[in-house]
């Protein structure tokens, strides 16, 4: 089997969901270092990391009726500045990009190639290679293997919708959207952990509750609906997968003006824990991938497949009030990296456009802070103030809040 | 575009997407029962119609398309 055949057989369908979606999802992780970036050393670091992570040397080829993946033999070149570029059109065919400005390295990628959990191993490796060159850090950098694709047929056996006919009964409601604004909120992590302990729930459950309480006045109903994703690598038996391994879930809580975190935390925590059960993850992921596979199998031009995919998604879902992605450690959710790497990282931000909700929260944990990067499609004034007020009321310390500005290009 | 012309376009798309002979199609044909279309095929036909007529059909309209006549009525009101 040739390399191209291996790529197509293994990884194409895992990314196809992000190809067929109406909106292209470009993601950005940005790491501020303790010193100005040396671009020559950064280029060397990216070259070395790419040599050790062959998975990312791929390019997406569009044909009339299908997409396929080929090896990308072009050299990858980093660029200066913070501009988010179209991938692969402005990145030499690559589905990711690396740029720098002052002390910050920007890592951008098309969600087709990886989810946040998967791409982090690669990005962290680039940082390690860079620190080895810039600071003689001495980090060990063996090749980064990618797990082979999971067994799609075995996964789809869990799809409860496999034999269903007829269009879903849900009445689709368009996501409210206007002028997207970005803001950032920094929380003291320990105080959130303490709030969670008071309710006997996971910290992320407490965060979900606090954000639900904060958003309730804006959604103008008692019930606040949110979506979140869970990583399914371990359930699928592919812990080293770079490719997308995500099951998304939805939950709603009554979060009216009189409600406090202690009233809703247990329900949120129970829902979250149930979504981490292997059967729940496999069932949900099978539903998502089953739809991808059915659209992919259509004998129709790509543009028709893309429209069919988005119609099916709209018919099968209704938008949530907010989307949350809890990354945890931005250098590696499994903390599989040398702890000393943290010493070279001053700050972190993550910008991913909300999909299927009017506001999205991407939350990372670094240096004792929870960094909440917020993208609000409605540009609501007072959103961070409202969140800060709820946090303060529930004993969670807000370290800072800032309006960052409009959306990045391609993330509008 | 009149009803006859719209019907001709629909018949062509049905033949292309679901290999349904033009002889089997009339305005009263029920998409899922008489023509035995799957929901996936209906979505594909709608996407084809959007492209043919240069319009966007909101997802909330999809469940109202029960017969071929429903499609013609909808399209006539927008491109007729």
Query: Which token pair is A114?
Result: 């990886």
The answer to whether the CB of A214 falls within 8 A of the CB of A325 is: no
The confidence score (pLDDT) of residue A348 equals 98
Among the candidates A112, A135, A158, a domain finishes at A135
Q: Report the gap between the CA of B59 and the closest CA in chain A (Å).
A: 6
Give residue A31's Cα distance to chain centre.
16
Say which range, A171-175, A260-264, A345-349, B17-21, has the weakest mean pLDDT. A171-175
* Residue A180 vs residue A334, higher pLDDT: A180
Chain B: residue whose CA lies nearest to A294: B40
Q: What is the model's pTM?
A: 0.93
Q: Each residue of A197-246: pLDDT tens digit?
A: 999 999 999 999 999 999 999 988 899 999 999 999 999 999 999 999 99
Residues A207 and A291 in one domain: yes
The phi, psi pair for A291, rounded to 5°, reads -65, -40
Contact A166/B32, CB-based, under 8 Å? yes
Residues A177 and A130 in one domain: no
The confidence score (pLDDT) of residue A220 equals 82
Q: Is A335 on the interface with B (CB under 8 A)?
A: no
Contact list, B31 vs chain A (CB under 8 Å): none
* Separation of alpha carbons A319 and A340, rounded Å: 41
Q: Is A166 on the interface with B (CB under 8 A)?
A: yes
At a CB cut-off of 8 Å and minimum separation 6, what does A8 contact?
A68, A69
> Beta strands A79-80 and A322-328: pairing type?
unpaired
Please give the full DSSP string across A63-118, using - where no structure is assigned.
-SS-EEEEE--SPP--EESS----TTTTTTT-SEEEEEETTEEEEEEETTT--HHH
Nearest to B62 among A165, A167, A303 (CB): A167
Q: ipTM score here?
A: 0.95
Residue A149 within a domain = no
Residues A231 and A355 in one domain: yes
Residues A180 and A243 in one domain: yes
Tell me the Ramachandran region of residue A143: left when phi exceeds 0, alpha when psi lies from -120 to 50, beta otherwise: beta
Residues A181 and A236 in one domain: yes
Q: Which residues 267-286 of A are in CB contact (within 8 Å) with B?
A: none
Instruction: Give the percent of chain A with pLDDT over 70.
Output: 95
Rg of chain A over Cα atoms, rounded to whole angstroms, equals: 21
Contact A308/B50, CB-based, under 8 Å? no
The confidence score (pLDDT) of residue A313 equals 84
- Whether cis (ω within 30° of 0) applies to the bond prior to A88 is yes
Q: Report the gap between the CA of A377 and the closest CA in chain B (Å).
A: 21
Q: Give the burial class of A402: count Cβ atoms within 10 A of its Cβ; 0-12 exposed, 13-18 middle, 19 or more buried.
A: exposed
Task: Assess whether pLDDT exceeds 60 at residue A311.
Answer: yes
Q: Each residue of A276-300: pLDDT tens digit?
A: 999 999 999 999 999 999 999 999 9
Q: Is A298 on the interface with B (CB under 8 A)?
A: yes
Confidence of residue A25 (pLDDT cuts 50, 70, 90): very high
Query: Which token pair is A67?
Result: 């997409």
Contact B46/A311, CB-based, under 8 Å? yes
Residue A164 within a domain = no
Residues A194 and A304 in one domain: yes
Residue A167 within a domain = no
Q: What is the mean pLDDT of residues A10-30?
A: 90
Contact B62/A307, CB-based, under 8 Å? no
Task: Assess whether pLDDT exceeds 70 at residue A10.
Answer: no
Chain A: residue whose CA lies nearest to B48: A304
The overall average pLDDT reported for chain A is: 92
Task: Assess whether pLDDT exceeds 90 at residue A312.
Answer: no
Among the candidates A85, A115, A135, a domain finishes at A135
Confidence of residue A319 (pLDDT cuts 50, 70, 90): confident
Chain A: residue whose CA lies nearest to B31: A166
Residue A1 within a domain = no
Q: Each residue of B18-71: pLDDT tens digit?
A: 999 999 999 999 999 999 999 899 999 999 999 999 999 998 899 899 999 999
Number of structural domains, chain A? 2
Q: How many CB pairs below 8 A link A and B?
A: 41
Confidence of residue A315 (pLDDT cuts 50, 70, 90): confident
Residues A118 and A202 in one domain: no
Contact A167/B38, CB-based, under 8 Å? no
Q: Report the gap between the CA of B47 and the closest CA in chain A (Å).
A: 6
Q: Is A170 on the interface with B (CB under 8 A)?
A: no
At a CB cut-off of 8 Å and minimum separation 6, what does A188 contact?
A368, A369, A370, A396, A397, A398, A399
Nearest to B44 among A167, A304, A314 (CB): A304
CATH code, domain with A27: 3.30.559.10
The confidence score (pLDDT) of residue A336 equals 84
Residues A115 and A224 in one domain: no
Residue A373 within a domain = yes
Residue A144 within a domain = no
Residues A193 and A62 in one domain: no
Contact list, B44 vs chain A (CB under 8 Å): 298, 300, 304, 308
Nearest to A315 among B32, B44, B59 (CB): B59
The phi, psi pair for A262, rounded to 5°, reads -60, -25
The confidence score (pLDDT) of residue A177 equals 73
> Beta strands A369-376 and A181-188: pairing type?
antiparallel
Contact list, B60 vs chain A (CB under 8 Å): 171-172
Range of the domain at A363: 173-406
Task: Assess whether pLDDT exceeds 80 at residue A175.
Answer: no
Q: What is the mean pLDDT of residues A118-133?
A: 97
The answer to whether the CB of B6 falls within 8 A of the CB of B72 is: yes
* Residue A208 vs residue A314, higher pLDDT: A208
Residues A18 and A95 in one domain: yes
Q: Report the gap between the CA of A321 and the closest CA in chain B (Å).
A: 20
Chosen from B43, B50, B66 to mutate, greatest number of chain A CBs within 10 A: B43
| Cα dihedral value A100, A101, A104, A108, nearest 10 | -40
Residue A168 within a domain = no
**Which spans in A278-339 are helix H?**
278-296, 302-316
CATH code, domain with A217: 3.30.559.30
Q: What is the mean pLDDT of residues A90-99?
A: 97
Top-ranked range on mean pLDDT: pick from A68-77, A160-169, A175-184, A267-276: A267-276
Residue A166 within a domain = no
A359 beta partners:
A376
Q: Is A63 on the interface with B (CB under 8 A)?
A: no
| Cα dihedral value A127, A131, A134, A140, nearest 10 | -120
Residues A225 and A85 in one domain: no
The answer to whether the CB of A411 falls within 8 A of the CB of A182 is: no
Residues A346 and A243 in one domain: yes
Q: Each residue of A373-395: pLDDT tens digit?
A: 999 999 888 999 999 999 999 99
């Amino acid at each position: 089997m040739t390399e191209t055949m291996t790529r197509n057989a293994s990884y194409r369908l895992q990314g196809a969901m992000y190809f067929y979606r109406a909106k292209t999802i470009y993601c950005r992780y940005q790491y501020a270092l303790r010193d100005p970036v040396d671009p020559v050393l950064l280029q060397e670091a990216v070259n070395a990391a790419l040599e050790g992570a062959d998975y990312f040397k791929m390019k997406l080829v569009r044909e009339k009726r299908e997409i396929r993946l080929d090896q990308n033999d072009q050299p990858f070149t980093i660029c200066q500045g913070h501009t988010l570029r179209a991938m692969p059109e402005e990145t030499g065919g690559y589905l990711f990009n690396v740029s720098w400005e002052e002390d910050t390295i920007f890592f951008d990628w098309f969600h087709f190639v990886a989810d946040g959990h998967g791409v982090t191993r690669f990005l962290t490796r680039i940082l390690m290679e860079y620190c080895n060159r810039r600071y003689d850090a001495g980090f060990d950098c063996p090749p980064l293997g990618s797990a082979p694709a999971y067994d799609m047929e075995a996964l789809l056996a869990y799809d409860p919708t496999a034999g269903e006919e007829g269009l879903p009964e849900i009445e689709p409601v368009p996501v409210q959207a206007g002028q997207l604004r970005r803001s950032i909120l920094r929380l003291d992590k320990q105080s959130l952990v303490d709030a969670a302990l008071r309710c006997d729930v996971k910290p992320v459950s407490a965060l979900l509750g606090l954000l639900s309480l904060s958003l309730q006045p804006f959604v103008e109903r008692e019930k606040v609906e949110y979506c979140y994703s869970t990583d399914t690598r371990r359930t699928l038996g592919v812990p080293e997968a770079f490719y997308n391994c995500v099951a998304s879930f939805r939950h709603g809580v009554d979060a009216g003006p009189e409600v406090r975190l202690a009233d809703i935390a247990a329900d949120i925590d129970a829902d979250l824990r149930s979504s981490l059960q292997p059967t729940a993850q496999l069932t949900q992921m099978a539903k998502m991938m089953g739809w991808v596979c059915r659209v992919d199998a259509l004998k129709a031009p790509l543009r028709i497949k893309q429209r069919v995919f988005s119609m099916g998604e709209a018919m099968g879902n209704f938008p949530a009030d907010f989307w949350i992605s809890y990354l945890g450690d931005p250098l590696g959710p499994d903390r599989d990296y040398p702890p000393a790497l943290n010493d070279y990282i001053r700050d972190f931000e993550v910008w991913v456009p909300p999909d299927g909700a009017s506001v999205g929260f991407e939350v990372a944990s670094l240096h004792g802070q929870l960094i909440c990067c917020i993208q609000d499609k409605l540009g609501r004034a007072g959103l961070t103030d409202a969140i800060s007020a709820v946090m303060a009321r529930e004993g969670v310390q807000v370290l800072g809040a800032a309006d960052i500005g409009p959306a990045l290009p391609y993330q509008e | 575009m009149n009803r006859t012309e719209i019907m001709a376009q629909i018949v062509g798309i049905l033949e292309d997407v679901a290999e349904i002979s033009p002889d089997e199609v009339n305005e009263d044909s029920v998409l899922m029962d008489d023509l035995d279309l799957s929901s996936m095929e209906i979505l594909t036909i709608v996407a084809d119609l959007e492209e043919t007529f240069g319009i966007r059909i909101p997802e909330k309209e999809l469940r109202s398309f029960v017969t071929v006549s429903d499609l013609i009525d909808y399209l006539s009101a927008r491109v007729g």
